[in-house]
Amino acid sequence: MAYNLLKGKKGIIFGALDENSIAWKTAEKIHEEGGTFVLSNAPIAMRMGQIKELAAQTGSKVIPADATLQEDLDALVSQSMEILGGKIDFVLHSIGMSVNVRKGRHYTDEKYDFTTKGWDVSALSFHKVMQSLYKADAMNEWGSIVALTYMAAQRVFPDYNDMADNKAYLESVARSFGYFYGKEKKVRVNTISQSPTPTTAGQGVKGFDGFISYAEKMSPLGNATAQDCANYTVSLFSDLTKMVTMQNLFHDGGFSNTGVSQEVIDYFSN
């Protein structure tokens, strides 16, 4: 069911790789709710993914940009304003990658140039995106910027590796930039801390299958799906959440506030 919540709103969506991507589901939902947008992803993802299908389906243009490169981001922001015919109302940062995770390096055996690359892609890129938007004065007042994060920023999940540190940094950037963006331009900045979700990035984490089942049993409402996350993000892009900013919002079926569930107790009882 659609409510036209984003009618007339324009945005940029980063990170739709394939139909499992959280950004893909969000793009479809935004389209359903009347929003228009430019899709962006790293140039290499253009070759691997199916972003052109999503573009055709939603009547969107695709602009490649490596989110670690300021010149790519500056070009993306100015081209997006041209294509969309004015300033931007919403931005989704749905980008993450750890080279240490990909190469199977344990947290106690990081290769630091891998760490630096992963941090740049997963965390600093959020600052770079916002700095590009801010300097170009590209956001409308009461615009909304969202990045996706995970609870390993607050609590230890051993296999999440250096992504935990990247997410802690990302959440801090949301607060710090959110202060200045709020004061100067009335733009809000939040992170959504999402349940484990079966996507390319999610499944790259060691032990993902066991972990997603555990989270399902621990969460009173069960895990939030990518579709649920898309719905929640639309609410944050809408005018109904105008005063929410600088928050890390848990979207996890209650997992983060559950000490233990009956299912888990039963599993360990005999």
Ligand X SMILES: NC(=O)c1ccc[n+]([C@@H]2O[C@H](COP(=O)([O-])OP(=O)(O)OC[C@H]3O[C@@H](n4cnc5c(N)ncnc54)[C@H](O)[C@@H]3O)[C@@H](O)[C@H]2O)c1
User: For binding to ligand X (CB under 6 A), which residues are involved?
Assistant: 14-15, 17, 21-23, 41-42, 45, 66-68, 94-97, 121, 148-150, 194, 196-197, 199-202
Query: Given the complex with ligand X, which of 194 and 245 has the nearer CB atom?
Result: 194
Query: Given the complex with ligand X, which of 42 and 88 has the nearer CB atom?
Result: 42
* Smallest separation (angstroms) from ligand X to the CB of 184: 26
In contact, 178 and 245? CB cutoff 8 Å: yes
* Smallest separation (angstroms) from ligand X to the CB of 70: 12
Give the span between the Cα atoms of 52 and 28, in whole angstroms: 13
Residues near 9 by beta carbon (within 8 Å), at least 6 away in sequence: 34, 35, 36, 89, 90, 237
* Smallest separation (angstroms) from ligand X to the CB of 22: 4
Give the span between the Cα atoms of 172 and 188, in whole angstroms: 14
Query: Given the complex with ligand X, which of 15 and 143 has the nearer CB atom?
Result: 15
Query: Given the complex with ligand X, which of 33 and 66 has the nearer CB atom?
Result: 66
> Residue 66: what are its φ and ψ, rounded to 5°?
-80, 120
* Smallest separation (angstroms) from ligand X to the CB of 229: 8
Query: Given the complex with ligand X, which of 48 and 56 has the nearer CB atom?
Result: 48
Ranked by CB distance to ligand X, the top (closest) residue is 202
* Smallest separation (angstroms) from ligand X to the CB of 265: 25
